[in-house]
Structure 1
Amino acid sequence: MANAIVARSLDEIKFWSRIMKEHALFLSLGFTHEQKQLITEAQQFITVFERIEEKLSKFTVNSDLRQIQAFNREVFQAAASIWQYKRKVLGLTLRCEIRSNNFPLLVDHISREAAYFANRLKELNEGKLVPKPEAIIEENVFFLRIMADHAKFIGHLLDPSERKLVEQAREFSHDFDQLVFQAVDLESMRPQSETGPILSQFLNQNKVSVASLRDFKKTARELIEACRIKSIIHPLLADHTFREAERFLEIIDLFEASLE
């Protein structure tokens, strides 16, 4: 059990620390020239998570559990801090105290991911490795909403002349909104649906949809990197959303294994 928690902790930190670092970069690129203080703060978070990645490289799956728990607490503080920063930026945006090129929904989206990361570290330090069935549904709600957001962002950041791709992004947005509503419905039907074929079918349906979106993101990333489509999507952002879809598929596999 201890080794499993160590391995899972290192995996979560490896994946999400890179995501947090990239969030800080994307925010900094979206601010206007006069928003120097917010840009500086974003760049400081890039440094924070780069240091975490450096420290992470010194641990292995055979590291002492107590050392990993201490590291988890350290990273938790960084995740909580960047969450606070993101919520501050969102508040400034919604009150029209700043005007930037960062969509309010995007800032909310990345703050939800920071909260998720912090919560995962807290759960691991509490010894919670395998989620209960109701937590599986909740986590799917979280990730399905993330996927729906990605489709919306892609649709809005593609050049309007890319009509076919914009329409595809809109279709994915609609499909994942429906999956979110379906997951919320299933969540409210507990405890009857906590176990059995309904939950397995739910996961399988999500896997098929996420794999389709993942493939769309992969194609978009390749086209953006090759400068074959018109958009204002940063190549790293395209890769970022692709990796998050891959992550969701890995998590669905873990959930399915826990139900067997």
Structure 2
Amino acid sequence: MGYTDNYERDAYGIVAFWLRSNLEHGQFFDREISHYELELARANQSMVQSLEGIWRRAEEKQGDFAILINESQQAVSEFRNFLTLGMNKALHCEVIVSTPVSLMDHMIREAEESQKVFGLIQSGGQVLVADSVIHESTFWLRQMADHLAFVQHYLDPSYYELQDKVRGMTQKFERLFLQANALRTIVRKPRPEMLPALNVFRQMVINEAKDLEAFKLKLDALIKQCAAITTAPRNMLEHLAREAHHLWRNLEEGIIA
């Protein structure tokens, strides 16, 4: 399945979004594992197969939702624990993987966020708009800055203009992330209303996330035309664009999803 920005945002759709993100992380990680690390590769392939099966059921809205979300929690928890163990081994130089440790941490953070969202769905809890804007901004802006750093990592160094553009965008999202963290303590709980300063920031992030989504899809098209040389995993730019879309949609709707 190619890029989709119109996934249904009901309970099944949101669970499918997070399952797909974790599934694709596993697929990306698969190609980074050295052929010497057979045990690690087999464990990762098992995780990918488990996530894919549950994701397909969520996409097709098959079966009882309570059972589906419990299985999703379990599968993502196991994937998160697997990545954490792998990252710890990488930090001790006990495994051979090409994935930067910061990228493994990035994937772990998304797995943990998945579990939080699943828990919120299960509880039926409601989050105030201002709280959701603070939460989504502080979580996703860091992920967006990471994405750009990873894009730069995979781009051929000879693309000087493109490398410079990606660096500039990375710095922009790092600054937005710092501003989101500042607003988290400036606009303190309880947050019963959207203060003007927070609303202006929300719109700023929405605009930048839309531009980022468009940039990622443009770069994805260049890569698929073999017009930009990169070692990025297949469909990585679609994955990144989908998450940028998810960020600005959540901010527009004032929800955690």
TM-score by length of 1: 0.88
Query: In 2, distance between residues paired with 1:153 and 1:116?
Result: 20
In 1: Cα distance, 2:14 partner to 2:139 partner:
16
What SS class does the counterpart of residue 97 from structure 2 fall into? Answer: coil
For the Cα contact (< 8 Å) 2:157–2:163, is it kept in 1? yes
- Provide structure 2 residue ranges, at least 5 long, that are not aligned to the other structure: 1-7
Q: Give the fraction of aligned pairs with identical amino acids, expressed as a percent.
A: 24
**Is the CA contact (8 Å cut-off) linking 1:137 and 1:183 kept in structure 2?**
yes
CA distance in 1, matches of 2:128, 2:75: 24
> In terms of mean alpha carbon deviation, does 92-101 or 247-256 score higher?
247-256
212-221 or 191-200, which moves further after superposition?
191-200
- Aligned residue pairs total 246
Q: Match of 1:183?
A: 180
- TM superposition shift of 1:224: 0.5
Segment of structure 1 superposing worse, 123-132 or 183-192: 123-132
Distance (Å, rounded) in 1 between the aligned partners of 2:166 and 2:221: 16
For residues 120 and 193 of structure 1, what CA distance do their matches in structure 2 show? 21
Q: Match for residue 225 of structure 2?
A: 226
Q: Tell me by how many angstroms 1:164 deviates.
A: 0.9
Listed one character per residue, the Cα deviations across residues 58-93 of structure 1 (whole Å, up to 9, x for unaligned) are 537xx8xxx423321221111111111111111111
Tell me, in whole angstroms, the C-alpha distance in 2 between the residues paired with 1:212 and 1:180.
Answer: 16
Q: Which residue in the other structure is 1:3 paired with? A: none
Q: What amino acid maps onto 2:226 in structure 1?
A: C
1:84 paired with 2:77, answer: no
What are the residue-to-residue correspondences of 1:1-260 with 2, within 5 Å?
8-57=10-59, 59=61, 67-191=64-188, 194=191, 195-255=194-254
Offset at residue 249 of structure 1 (A): 1.6
C-alpha separation in 1, matches of 2:177 and 2:53: 36
Unmatched runs of 5 consecutive residues or more in structure 1? 1-5
Instruction: Return the letter of the residue paired with 2:203.
Output: N
Structure 1 residues 37 and 202, CA gap change in structure 2 (3 angstroms): same
Give the C-alpha shift of residue 193 in structure 1: 9.1
**Alignment-mate amino acid for residue 250 of structure 2:** I
User: 8 Å contact 2:132–2:254 — kept in the other structure?
Assistant: no
In 1, Cα distance between equivalents of 2:9 and 2:204: 28
* Higher relative contact order structure (alpha carbons within 8 Å, sequence separation ≥ 6): 2
Which 4+ runs in 1 deviate beyond 6 A?
none
Query: 1:76 touches 1:121 (CA, 8 Å); kept in 2?
Result: yes
Amino acid at match of 1:240: H
C-alpha distance in 2 between matches for 1:119 and 1:192: 19
- Aligned equivalents of 2:153, 2:72: Cα separation in 1: 33
CA gap of 1:166–1:143, structure 2 versus 1, over 3 A, is same
Secondary structure of the residue that 1:30 maps to in structure 2?
coil
Query: What CA RMSD, in Å, does the superposition of the two structures yield over aligned residues?
Result: 2.0
TM-score norm. by structure 2 comes to 0.89
**Change over 3 Å in CA distance of 1:172–1:7 after alignment to 2:** closer
Partners in 2 of 1:69 and 1:34 — Cα distance? 40
Contact 1:21 1:50 in 2 (8 A): yes
- Is contact 1:32–1:100 with CA below 8 Å preserved after alignment? yes
| Cα offset, 1:8, TM superposition | 3.2
The 2-side partners of 1:121 and 1:43 are apart by 23
Q: What's the CA shift string for 1:96-151, capped at 9, x where partnerless? A: 11231101111100111111111100011111244452343022110000000001
